[in-house]
Structure 1
């Protein structure tokens, strides 16, 4: 995609955390684990720590995304903390402007607002979130414009004002797993993050569209693209493959429509999934990187060469917290962030 192949050390790395809740664990423990991970990756040179909004998912603890961002930002000091993303159709733009205005006032210069247009849930959960059932993301550009106008310093002349919020410089990112968001990000001159960790087959097309249609803005003079990727790094290939089975089982339970907590890893998936289910899981996860440090280095480089991304945001869902922290540490060593 890009003529200039970036080296691993020329790309920024960030963390995407869904605050995994493990079998036999609790949300309380998951939040402690997330803060521990954030404190480690901050020392190792990761650039941002983003949390994702999902609802009605027994294995994901980040539903009250803004609250968790405040907790992580409060326990760290330099890493940027933000949403990857807030699903704007679930919320009133005013409330999000106030929440992120509050976060930015508490942790100045460290808050990112990544926005998605998917509901992050199912139909009945959507209704429980008090959303208009007809809202399907088509009004996302209008909602985005509303939100940006609340953050604009000129909104002090309006009848409805976001306080805190107005006049604050909070970077807004658009997130997407399709061409809609990449086209909108290009048109508005905003940074764009593509969810290649669960929509791998559209990655290159979406990022190519974003870069080719990009219009400079007062936010960015040239395109800035981030791509999500699942990474399971361990000291040996066997261990990495073993650790990744928790995520594969979790994904399988999603396909079966029985989402659950993160299960312990298993020696083999073969007696757990059917051939058809295996094919489905593998298709979704084919942008996953599983392996020892050398294998991860090679696959990360290939992914960067293929996508031309300026930044990678890494999702590592594992049952064992120490193994998860270790995976991020290995990536930091491989990429030269941690010497």
Structure 2
């Protein structure tokens, strides 16, 4: 089985009754915890016009997390490029890389990260930036690249920082773009599981070696809810499952406490949402997690797994990440022992 790194994705969710400041403080606590555990990176997603998330200003969140952690890489997961000027993005992340060298990631997505009306307000037009995504990724690569590839307009800070850039996606289109540019590809399987097999195959088959990567680098984001027992994991997963129901019924709310017998309380339509959208959700204790991780990796052979876990109680969220990290470490310690 191919070895993989493990990282974290967060939307800086607000738990029921929390203020925005408290939501950000919770994100800092999580980042500090996974930093100490040895996770590779933590990314924050861009969302607008939602009182359930504190991650609208991703650059500010990333800077704050960098200032409060020591070793973990921190980045956007991602910057939704249709909402931003490529030059300004390069300047912002070039500044972060200047302040925190070798710790900054810039993952770029082409979705709006919000509803259509809010997207129009952000862009001050109904211009659909999705069609310009590949060109704008190329612009940023140039702006943060070496002086030899610069044009008349340059990013200061930015030029020469060579901030690592990743392409986010949940479709074959984004896979083709990542492959053609020779960039790492992060697939959002946490909400789009059924397209992953085709998306990863297209990325690998069409990958063009570049100055950034000589071989494909595949990342998969999945949902993980871990606890000391299967019963506890099932209970605390209710908050996470409710998030996805809220998203796909346009009823987004703050993270709510879990309730017992949650699945039994759902309608058939809500159950179908979970079935179609949460195919890659690993749930259980250490033993079930180990089994499911092995099966997942044998199937997809990814280079890195990025994990999102919307758990209502912060201590249980951190404990879930502790269990996962321990399982992964033991998995590869055992493999190393067997090979020796």
- Normalising by the smaller structure, the TM-score range is over 0.9
1:163-202 to 2 correspondence within 5 Å? 163-202=156-195
Q: Distance in 1 between matches of 2:64 and 2:8?
A: 16
Q: Distance in 1 between matches of 2:105 and 2:150?
A: 25
Q: Report if aligned partners of 1:149, 1:155 keep a CA contact under 8 Å in 2.
A: no
Find the residue that maps to 1:138 and give its secondary structure: helix
Answer yes or no: is 1:109 the counterpart of 2:126: no
Find the residue that maps to 2:123 and give its secondary structure: coil
**Per-residue deviation at 1:281?**
1.9
Q: Distance in 2 between matches of 1:171 and 1:145?
A: 13
Partner residue, 2:28: 35
**Per-residue deviation at 1:152?**
2.4
Within the candidate set 17, 25, 32, 1:24 is matched to: 17
Q: Distance in 1 between matches of 2:288 and 2:43?
A: 26
**Per-residue deviation at 1:156?**
8.7
Q: Report if aligned partners of 2:105, 2:165 keep a CA contact under 8 Å in 1.
A: yes
**What are the superposed Cα offsets for residues 75-134 of structure 1, whole Å, 9 maximum, x if unpaired?**
111111111111011101111011101100110011010000001111011012125313
Name the count of aligned residue pairs: 332
Partner residue, 1:336: 329
Partner residue, 2:302: 309
1:83-94 to 2 correspondence within 5 Å? 83-94=76-87
Partner residue, 2:126: 133
**Per-residue deviation at 1:305?**
1.4
Gaps of 5+ in 1: none
Judging changes above 3 Å, is the alpha-carbon distance between structure 1 residues 57 and 80 closer, same or farther for their aligned structure 2 residues?
same
Q: Distance in 2 between matches of 1:223 and 1:147?
A: 20
Answer yes or no: is 1:54 the counterpart of 2:47: yes
Find the residue that maps to 2:306 and give its secondary structure: strand
Q: Report if aligned partners of 2:143, 2:158 keep a CA contact under 8 Å in 1.
A: yes
Answer yes or no: is 1:267 the counterpart of 2:264: no
Partner residue, 1:248: 241
**What are the superposed Cα offsets for residues 123-170 of structure 1, whole Å, 9 maximum, x if unpaired?**
011012125313150111111122222212337964422111111110
TM norm structure 2:
0.94
**Per-residue deviation at 1:302?**
1.2
Find the residue that maps to 2:6 and give its secondary structure: strand
**What are the superposed Cα offsets for residues 273-304 of structure 1, whole Å, 9 maximum, x if unpaired?**
21122111222012111111101111111111
TM norm structure 1:
0.94
Q: Where in structure 1 do 4 or more consecutive aligned residues deviate above 4 Å?
A: none
Over the residues paired in the alignment, what is the CA RMSD in angstroms?
1.6
Partner residue, 1:219: 212
Q: Report if aligned partners of 2:143, 2:150 keep a CA contact under 8 Å in 1.
A: no
Partner residue, 1:79: 72
Answer yes or no: is 1:229 the counterpart of 2:222: yes
Q: Distance in 1 between matches of 2:186 and 2:177?
A: 12
Within the candidate set 27, 34, 38, 1:45 is matched to: 38
Gaps of 5+ in 2: 334-340
Partner residue, 2:92: 99
Partner residue, 1:64: 57
Answer yes or no: is 1:14 the counterpart of 2:7: yes
